[in-house]
Structure 1
Amino acid sequence: MSARLSPGGALLRSSRLFSVPKPIPGPSAASEDAGYGSTLRRPTGTSPYPTHQSITTPESSRSQGDWGLKRSLPLKMTTKSSTPSIHVKHLDSIEKITDYSSSSQHSITLQKFQELNLPLTVPTLPNRYRAVSLGTTSVFEDDHDVTAVGGTGSDKRWKFEGPWLAGLTEGQFENYVQKTVRNRRQEFQAFLRTRLASDLTAAQQQAALDKAIEAPAPVVAKDVTEDQLTEYTRKLRSDRVTLFALISEFLDLAPLNPPSAIANMSAGTRIESKSPNPYAERGPPITHPSGGLSYIRTNAHAENHPLYGPQANPSPVLARIISPRHMSNPAKLGVAGFITDTPQGDSAFNYRSYRGGKARVSGIATFDPEITGGSKCYVEPVSANINSAGKLVLKVDEASEEAQMIKKELIGKAEIYNNKNPNAHALESEPRTHSQRLGGYRGSPLGRRDGSPLIRRQPKPGKVQTGSSQSYGLDK
């Protein structure tokens, strides 16, 4: 018979002091409210984002099965992984055990993405709106990272109370109308009274301004008569654009894609104040636009190499060629655990660059089984954003040859910096004359700093001079 718990122990066990956070709603529950139905349903059955918190423990505690929970976890299942990370579904299941599973796939993916040093940006506007697009913007900017209803035309929120009508099926739309819209008829009439009162007040003030007289008292909602409200409603039925705008404001619906940027502008307004919502094309995201992957706002920084100084390009990332190019379908690359397309335009990934004289990426056109570990190539991550389905859209560009060489030298696959002759890089303490400055050391073929002629020694047969303009370390 087990010993009886003390009152303090019983209180501590029944308290929520050591409880894990509640999981966030899954995509199936969020899709009913957001309005994109089967968009989040994947054929593999995997979730587009994790819903449970990831828990880890030090190596000393893991060897004893101590994960900070109320009971120890079995060593046989938790000591084999090189990345100890779990997520707990239930602290106490029906069988009186802790229901857990590994979360290393999510933890490693998060770690690999944060090593890219990429900020999450707002989705770019379609091509027909590029005239009003202001470039990529971080999701943490003040005009985008908001959930409150704003009163300006540049409402670029990502969270709305109502659904996205373009993603609703007919059954979902009927269900939404029956359960949510039909019972709010009186509230909508009061909303129309308030809007009509503000329109009448604006019209009276404009008329008084034209006649140079004192403006009358503002019209309030209770001053609007039933006849005025009926006439206003009749006019709205013939003006579908204004009616839909009022209904969207009342129900706080997610924005829809307008036919054009010009149609979304009213007279006398500037083009940037009426730019379309970035989430109107595909629908708003089901989570925060950052997805919790990164919290940096910009990648406007330069990497400083200890030998070569500040670099013009960031350090490239080694990507794996998942599938080669097939007819009109571009090749797929695996970058930091995410699938992306190859860079567009004239690059080493396309045939045009191959005809232009650049070296084509091996394994990009056909599968090459002779390459050990699969075909790989270096790319430069450019931007990343999360679409409405919870998928991370990663865009990469072709990495420059200089950045690739520096990266290969860093991991020991190339040799560029050669300091075997210390006299060649010795600094001169004495000042040089004008003729020596013109005809000497810095890139001039006339001579050295001391005035002696510059003799270029040819490399020995069978050897290529490392770091030369011909090889640039490519031979290593």
Structure 2
Amino acid sequence: MTTPAVSPGAALLRASRMFSLPAAISSPPGDWSTATKHHSDTATKHFPTRLSVTTTQASRVNGDWGFKRSFPAKTTSKQTIPLIRINKVDAIEEVTDFDSASDHSLTLLKFQEMNMAITTPPARKSDVYDSYTKPVSVFEEDSDITAFEPGQETESENKRWRFNGPWLAGMADGDFEKYLNKNVRNRRADFRAYLKQHMAKEQTAEKRRTALEAGQDDKQVAEVAPEAITDEIYTENLRRLRADRIELYRLISRFLDLAPVSIEAETQNIGAMAHNVSREFRQTGPYSVHGPPITHPSAGLSYLRTRNFQENHPLYGPQREHAPVKSRVLHPRHPASGVFNAMIGTGGFVAQTSSGDTVTGNRRSSARALEEFDLSTKGGAKKYFGIRSATVDSNGRINVAVDDSFPQTVMVHQETLGEAEVWKQSSKASNSSPGTRGSGRPAGTPHRAFASGKSYGLSSERKL
């Protein structure tokens, strides 16, 4: 069956962004190691693949979402926030296939409320502490490179995140064979010309080095043209490159613009290096071990470059830390089974606590929530954590690092929400231990709260 003919104006409107939905992006790559494990069909994906569509409250009652057919109000009215995603405008049953899009849309709003900046993942395990204390934004000019001059791609290959070629370590055998047959085998002549240019540069550098050792001016040495590389010289240098796997891989990766490998992978091939040839190992990049990300490293979650700003409290002035986030304990610690870090659900993401949290170790009531399941609390145990950093890995997953906040920061935040009264709790603590040093008032002061949720205007019972 052929599609009905339309006028050029109608075809232009159909293809425009105003009257058409963007094509769905590829689904997140699966983890083959978990193929035999149970997974929920309703679990939220790592990142959205389709556009979220919303409408006004009055239009939702009538089922009007801007499409050619109305949607059932019984299904769309169950959502608190009107958000849907269209899987197919015209299905085989002549209906519009849609489902709720609140999962990713609300997660985006939660993440933006935390005022987090996406940082570059650590290049090595030893750099985890530096990435925690000295985060580097993914929008820095030396790493966020999408267009560069000829020759700049080699200088920034360990920093940039976008490459024309795929990441070979993450490809299956079938995809690798397709890539060889489609993109590599038909470029033999181009690679031969690229090798001749590289050999000509090496010979030019060797002649200039010889001139310097002889006390001559190296600038007067003429450059060797690629046409001067004969077949005998080319064959001899090719045999040398085949014996030096590291240098050969570097030339192939730069020719095909492949993502670089880590320094650990290079040092494993020291025995395959050419004899009497010095090699300078490249610095490991943030995307060398697990490959470059499939999207921009920020994933569109946040466009902030830094989080170095202070939150100003109306009574207590500038705060030392940002406001903590109330998180749910999803999986407590269980050292007997090898789980040393508790799993925390914060802002729609799953994070792990640090193994050396000092505040939790000193406060046993808080530590109990991370060491055993709380069956008495509805929805599970909850605890305030401070968000330290957020990164996006090569598979599109968001990794959030959390840590314990200072008790004073948690108390001030609870007071703002009306969950606690700072000075009343501090005065009780001072009366119970008058000889200790803390943030509370001296013993004997009246139990009076300076502020609460009502005085901040957060309560609906506030009188005008």
TM superposition score category, shorter chain reference: 0.7 to 0.9
* Structure-2 change in CA distance of 1:224 and 1:324 (3 Å): same
2:382 pairs with one of 363, 376, 391? 376
Counterpart in the other structure of 1:187: 190
Q: Look up the SS of the partner of 2:52 in the other structure.
A: coil
2:347 pairs with one of 323, 328, 336? 336
* Structure-2 change in CA distance of 1:188 and 1:371 (3 Å): same
Task: Give the partner amino acid of 1:212.
Answer: Q
Unaligned runs of 5+ in 2: 1-5, 270-276, 425-441, 451-464
- 8 Å contact 2:298–2:392 — kept in the other structure? yes
What is the CA-CA distance between 1:310 and the residue it aligns to?
A: 0.2
Unaligned runs of 5+ in 1: 1-5, 32-36, 419-455, 469-476
* Structure-2 change in CA distance of 1:223 and 1:457 (3 Å): closer
What is the CA-CA distance between 1:372 and the residue it aligns to?
A: 3.4
1:75 pairs with one of 73, 76, 100? 73
Larger CA deviation: 379-388 vs 71-80: 71-80
Counterpart in the other structure of 2:117: 119
* Structure-2 change in CA distance of 1:162 and 1:282 (3 Å): same
Matched, 1:321 2:329: yes
- 8 Å contact 1:128–1:260 — kept in the other structure? no
Matched, 1:136 2:139: no
What is the CA-CA distance between 1:340 and the residue it aligns to?
A: 1.1
What is the CA-CA distance between 1:121 and the residue it aligns to?
A: 0.8
Matched, 1:287 2:295: yes
Matched, 1:312 2:317: no
- 8 Å contact 1:383–1:394 — kept in the other structure? yes
- Following the alignment from structure 1 to structure 2, what is the Cα–Cα distance between the partners of residues 151 and 140? 20
Q: Look up the SS of the partner of 2:367 in the other structure.
A: coil
Task: Give the partner amino acid of 2:447.
Answer: Q
- Following the alignment from structure 2 to structure 1, what is the Cα–Cα distance between the partners of residues 96 and 130? 54
Deviations 1:333-389 (A, max 9, x none): 11011111122214244xxx24xx665334221122222332110000000111122
Q: Which runs of 4+ in 1 moved over 6 A?
A: 6-13, 39-42, 130-134, 260-264, 266-269
* Structure-2 change in CA distance of 1:139 and 1:226 (3 Å): same
* Structure-2 change in CA distance of 1:131 and 1:70 (3 Å): closer
Task: Give the partner amino acid of 2:334.
Answer: H
What is the CA-CA distance between 1:233 and the residue it aligns to?
A: 0.7
- Following the alignment from structure 1 to structure 2, what is the Cα–Cα distance between the partners of residues 302 and 262? 44
Once the two structures are superposed, the pairs formed by residues 95-244 of structure 1 within 5 Å of their partners are 95-128=93-126, 135-148=134-147, 150-152=153-155, 155-210=158-213, 211-213=215-217, 215-244=220-249
Task: Give the partner amino acid of 1:202.
Answer: A
Matched, 1:24 2:28: no
- Following the alignment from structure 1 to structure 2, what is the Cα–Cα distance between the partners of residues 69 and 141? 41
* Structure-2 change in CA distance of 1:64 and 1:169 (3 Å): closer
Q: TM-score, normalised by structure 2?
A: 0.78
Q: Look up the SS of the partner of 1:27 in the other structure.
A: coil
* Structure-2 change in CA distance of 1:23 and 1:64 (3 Å): same
- Following the alignment from structure 2 to structure 1, what is the Cα–Cα distance between the partners of residues 205 and 306? 43
Counterpart in the other structure of 1:53: 51
* Structure-2 change in CA distance of 1:8 and 1:207 (3 Å): closer
- 8 Å contact 2:85–2:98 — kept in the other structure? yes
- Following the alignment from structure 2 to structure 1, what is the Cα–Cα distance between the partners of residues 79 and 348? 18
- 8 Å contact 1:129–1:260 — kept in the other structure? no
* Structure-2 change in CA distance of 1:400 and 1:268 (3 Å): same
* Structure-2 change in CA distance of 1:173 and 1:239 (3 Å): same
Deviations 1:124-168 (A, max 9, x none): 122356799894211111122223462315631212222222223
Q: Look up the SS of the partner of 2:234 in the other structure.
A: helix
* Structure-2 change in CA distance of 1:77 and 1:56 (3 Å): same
* Structure-2 change in CA distance of 1:15 and 1:255 (3 Å): closer
Task: Give the partner amino acid of 1:125.
Answer: A
- 8 Å contact 1:39–1:389 — kept in the other structure? no
- Following the alignment from structure 1 to structure 2, what is the Cα–Cα distance between the partners of residues 332 and 396? 10
Task: Count the aligned residue pairs.
Answer: 406
What is the CA-CA distance between 1:268 and the residue it aligns to?
A: 11
Deviations 1:403-453 (A, max 9, x none): 1111111111112369xxxxxxxxxxxxxxxxxxxxxxxxxxxxxxxxxxx
Considering only aligned residues, what root-mean-square deviation do their CA atoms show, in Å?
3.3
What is the CA-CA distance between 1:281 and the residue it aligns to?
A: 1.4
- Following the alignment from structure 1 to structure 2, what is the Cα–Cα distance between the partners of residues 338 and 73? 31
Task: Give the partner amino acid of 2:409.
Answer: A
- Following the alignment from structure 1 to structure 2, what is the Cα–Cα distance between the partners of residues 124 and 200? 38
Once the two structures are superposed, the pairs formed by residues 295-306 of structure 1 within 5 Å of their partners are 295-306=303-314
- Following the alignment from structure 2 to structure 1, what is the Cα–Cα distance between the partners of residues 159 and 314? 43
Counterpart in the other structure of 1:443: none
What is the CA-CA distance between 1:171 and the residue it aligns to?
A: 4.4
- Following the alignment from structure 1 to structure 2, what is the Cα–Cα distance between the partners of residues 132 and 191? 39
Once the two structures are superposed, the pairs formed by residues 2-13 of structure 1 within 5 Å of their partners are none
What is the CA-CA distance between 1:11 and the residue it aligns to?
A: 6.6
1:389 pairs with one of 390, 395, 400? 395
* Structure-2 change in CA distance of 1:332 and 1:410 (3 Å): same
What is the percentage of aligned positions where both structures have the same residue?
39
Task: Give the partner amino acid of 1:250.
Answer: F
Counterpart in the other structure of 1:62: 60
What is the CA-CA distance between 1:230 and the residue it aligns to?
A: 1.1
Task: Give the partner amino acid of 1:27.
Answer: P
Task: Give the partner amino acid of 2:46.
Answer: P
Q: TM-score, normalised by structure 1?
A: 0.76
- 8 Å contact 1:209–1:215 — kept in the other structure? no
Larger Rg: 1
Higher normalized helix content (fraction of residues): 2
- Following the alignment from structure 1 to structure 2, what is the Cα–Cα distance between the partners of residues 185 and 339? 47
Task: Give the partner amino acid of 1:315.
Answer: A
1:402 pairs with one of 395, 408, 427? 408
- 8 Å contact 1:124–1:135 — kept in the other structure? no
* Structure-2 change in CA distance of 1:130 and 1:14 (3 Å): closer
- Following the alignment from structure 2 to structure 1, what is the Cα–Cα distance between the partners of residues 327 and 348? 9
Matched, 1:465 2:447: yes
1:248 pairs with one of 229, 239, 253? 253
Q: Look up the SS of the partner of 2:326 in the other structure.
A: strand
* Structure-2 change in CA distance of 1:55 and 1:385 (3 Å): same
What is the CA-CA distance between 1:220 and the residue it aligns to?
A: 1.9
